[in-house]
Amino acid sequence: MRCSFFMPRGCWCLLQAPKSINSGKALNLHPVFCVYTGTNYENAPMPVTESNDEQLRKLIFEKDRVMVKFTDENCPICKVLSPSFRRIATEPTYQHVQFVRMSARENPVSSKEVTMTGTPFFATYRKGTLLDCGVVSTEDGIREMLAKLLKDNS
């Protein structure tokens, strides 16, 4: 499949759908090969990881810095922020942050743990500890939370 995909140079990439294409869920395409730069992304890690309650618990202790976006399929702001969130996750400034997306409805334990008040709800973790959380409706809001996450190396 060939399609336009936002990459740092705005190049054209060959895209691949996940193997579970008939799952009925939203289709998340990921780049395989950049025609412009010749970069092979086939074995590159996905910038945003889909997770659940159990996986998140492991992830926040495995990674030093984690940002989680809790979404709801009926949330229009979640859909608007989705491209920004994915793009931010690919920026070199945030290469040491693990970006995670979770369904708020399908993961009640994590949603309750951060006292989620609406969507899109973001939470940041540093070394297994909740650092910051709240409803964020702009790209600038996401970047402010990330700045706090990166600010202190303690």
Q: Is the pLDDT of residue 74 over 80?
A: yes
Q: What is the pLDDT of residue 10?
A: 46
The pair of structure tokens assigned to 24 is 């009925």
> What would the pLDDT profile of 26-51 be if each residue is shown by its tens digit?
444 455 555 555 555 554 455 888 88
Q: Is the pLDDT of residue 69 over 60?
A: yes
Q: Is the pLDDT of residue 5 over 50?
A: no
Which domains does the chain carry? 2-34 (no CATH), 48-151 (3.40.30.10)
Q: Is the pLDDT of residue 66 over 90?
A: yes
Residue 120 phi, psi (nearest 5): -75, 135
> What would the pLDDT profile of 97-132 be if each residue is shown by its tens digit?
999 998 888 877 676 666 666 778 899 999 999 999
User: Is-cis flag, bond preceding 120, omega within 30?
Assistant: yes
Q: Quick check: 136 and 118 in contact, CB under 8 A? A: no
Higher pLDDT, 133 or 29: 133
In angstroms, the Cα distances linking 120 to 20, 35, 101, 103, 105 are: 25, 34, 10, 10, 12
